[in-house]
Every structure is written in C-alpha cells, then in structure tokens.
Amino acid sequence: MIGSARGVCVTEPAKLVLASGSPRRLALLNQAGIEPDLLMPADVDETPDRGELPRRLAQRLATQKAELVAQRAREAEIRALVLAADTVVAVGRRILPKPELKDEAEGCLRLLSGRTHRVYTGLCLVDVKGRAHTRLVETRVRFKRLSHDEMVDYLDCGEWRGKAGGYAIQGIAGSFVVKLVGSYTCVVGLPLAETVSLLAGEGYGVRTGWVERAA
C-alpha cells in the first residue's frame, strides 16, 4: 500500500512477472507492447505422467510454473501477476521431446515429415490473490515431405536443440510448413490473443505500451 496526497491508501500496482527465460516468449510480449517487470524462470520436471495426453501436459506444466513462481514472489513480498506458458508438440497421442541430442531431433523430423501434427500451448496467469486462470490453445501444423539432404542439413544447423518437437517455426523450419490452422504465436510459444485477454481480465494495462510506443 502507498499513501496518496490526501492520506488515502492506494494499492500499489501489481508487477507483471514472466515465469520464463525464453527469449521467444519475451519477444512476443514485447511485440504486443507489454514489458514484464521481472523475469523469473521456473524449473519444473517436464516428464509426462504415465498415459498423460499432450493437451493435459501443456496445461499442467504451465500451471506448475506459474504457481511455483507466484510462491517465490510471495516469499519475496512482491505483489505480482505471474504469467507462464508451456508448449507441447504431438503426433496423435505421442508427445515429442525437446531434443538435446541429434538422434532425438532426427526422430522428431522423421515423424513430422509429410504429415500434420498438433501444437498445444498452455497458459496460466496467477493473480495477486493466488488464483490461477488458465487457457489452452491448439494449432495444427503440416510439414512438407522432407528430403534426406534437408534433414541432414537441418540437423547440422543445430537450431532444433531444446525446441518442442525439434523445431522453431520462426526459424529455418518455417520453410517446412505448408499449412497452419490456428494461432501462429501458439506455435512460437505464447498465443498473444489469449495472453492479452487473460491480462486484461485481471485489470493489467495491456494497451499502456501502445501509447508509449506511439510517443
């Protein structure tokens, strides 16, 4: 609480905390004219539960990340809105990894080549009272059939490392996409329409940055 000129207590605005260290998610927020006050990456075990469906995994991990960082913010006495997201790529019920090894990435490419897959991004916003507000966004993406040489060269470039499904649509792999149905920003890692809606619903000034950018 802070005092006004007349001695009336005014609630200090909540800080926006992004529970991620992802440069892509930060860039997407910035694209929408939103600048988080703090970045607090959340380290959670991303191993799927036995029999867990891809959409359930994306939402569960986003919620775990947001709640973990919200707890850290409370312990630091920070009044915060905490935003988290998690992206899962799946072929049918099969959840693809975020590969760190070339063999894993090659397996992803072979599964994705010439077929449609689904990308799920779960969102979670924990408000100042500790309540979790969630959204799940689904996008369908179809890759062209990749040649052997295309796969080899892409694997050699290393861009796949640590990316869900072994690719980043905003990078070289964008040239593999022949069809996309749904939200492009969901595939990048933070569906903007839904993110802005969540923030606006909690009274966050999502358009303040638009005016500042124009000035």
Written as one letter, the residue type at 159 is: E
The one catalytic residue among 45, 49, 86, 103: 86
Known active-site residue 86? yes
- Which one-letter DSSP state was computed for residue 79? -
Written as one letter, the residue type at 213 is: R
2-3 and 9-10 beta bridge pairing: antiparallel
Please give the Cα distance from 212 to 16 (Å, whole number). Answer: 17
Secondary structure percentages of the chain, helix, strand, coil, to 5: 40, 25, 40
Instruction: Tell me how far CA of residue 12 lies from CA of 9, 29, 128, 177, 184, in angstroms.
Output: 9, 22, 11, 46, 35
Would you name the residues annotated as active-site residues? 86
